[in-house]
Structures are given as structure tokens and as C-alpha cells.
Amino acid sequence: MNEMNNAILAVTGAIVLLFSVLWSVVWISKGNNMAYTGIALMAIVCCGGYFVIPKPPVYEYTLEKDGCCKVVQKADLYTWRLRKADGDFTARFCHDYDLRAFDPEPGLIMWKLRFEDLGECWSVKRADLGFWWVRDPKTQIVMKED
């Protein structure tokens, strides 16, 4: 859904920018200096929209701060039951990232979970988002709490 909104925004911005350039070219060809003001105003509107459009919040849970996160149960590939210090919660990850490489079994512990909350699901697609598992310092094997 988020990618669809970005695509619509990009197409709309391109159309507005194209219209403003064509409009300005017509005005310049008629000798009207107001066309330069029109180009500047349209550029401000197009670029300003990027900062006005709300971005989904990013949340971060850490082992030190939140006592997060232990895998309690895996309902399916994208729905996990996790435990923090203040209780259990359900994590519903978006289908925008292939989680088949992860097969978390109960007891595995993350030292950090960082995600973008898209409302209906949590995205870990961006490079700065994801799961960081607690590992044995010598073997680098993911540690599990029984």
C-alpha cells in the first residue's frame, strides 16, 4: 500500500511539474517575465509536498531498554508472538520483505527490533530496519533461552 501511494505521488508530481514547465514556456515565448515566478512557485509546491506528506513512524525495541524481544510463538511466516519486559504482543510483519530465510523458533531472543509501522503491518524492508539476534560471542550462533 505504501509503495502504491509513493507511485501515485510521483506520477502526480511529474504531471504537475510538466504542466508548469509547459505553461512557463508559453508565457516566456509571449515575453512575460511572470513565467519565471511560475516556475519557482511550482518547484516549491512540488518539492514542499515531500516534506508535508506524513511518513509512517519507526519504532525500536531493544533488549536493554525494553527487555525485548523473545519469540514466544510463530503463528505463520509473518505473524509472531513476542515477549517484552512489560508483556506479550503480536507482531504482524508486512509481505514487502521475504521472511522465508527466518524461521524463528520459540526461545530465540533479539537484542533489537526496528520496524516501520504501516498500520496494518510492520515493515522491515528498509536497510535500517530489521531483527538483530543475540548471538554467542565465540561461535556467533543465535542464542536461545529455554
Express each pLDDT in 16-63 by its tens digit.
767 767 766 676 666 666 656 666 666 666 665 655 677 899 999 999
Cβ atoms of 90 and 74 closer than 8 Å? no
Structurally, the chain folds into a number of domains equal to: 2
> Is 42 in the same domain as 69?
no
Higher-confidence residue: 63 or 8?
Answer: 63
- pLDDT score for 93: 94
Q: Give the pLDDT mean for 3-23.
A: 68
> Is 72 in the same domain as 20?
no
> Is 80 in the same domain as 46?
no
- pLDDT score for 9: 65
Does residue 144 fall inside a structural domain?
A: no
The residues, ordered by sequence, that sit 6+ positions from 70 with a Cβ below 8 Å of its Cβ are 82, 83, 107, 108, 109, 110, 145
Does residue 143 fall inside a structural domain?
A: no
Give the domain-ending residue among 22, 37, 52: 52
- Structural domain of residue 35, as residue ranges? 2-52
Q: What burial letters (b/e) apply to 72-84, b meaning 16+ CB within 10 Å?
A: eebeeeeebebbb
Give the tens place of pLDDT for each residue, 71-126: 999 889 999 999 999 999 999 999 988 888 777 888 889 999 999 999 999 999 99
CA distance linking residue 119 with residue 122, whole number of Å: 7
- pLDDT score for 80: 93
- For residue 28, CA distances in Å to 22, 39, 41, 50, 97 come to 10, 11, 15, 28, 48
> Is 118 in the same domain as 71?
yes
Cβ atoms of 106 and 81 closer than 8 Å? no
- pLDDT score for 140: 81
Global pTM exceeds 0.85:
no
> Is 39 in the same domain as 73?
no
> Is 110 in the same domain as 129?
yes
CA distance linking residue 90 with residue 130, whole number of Å: 16
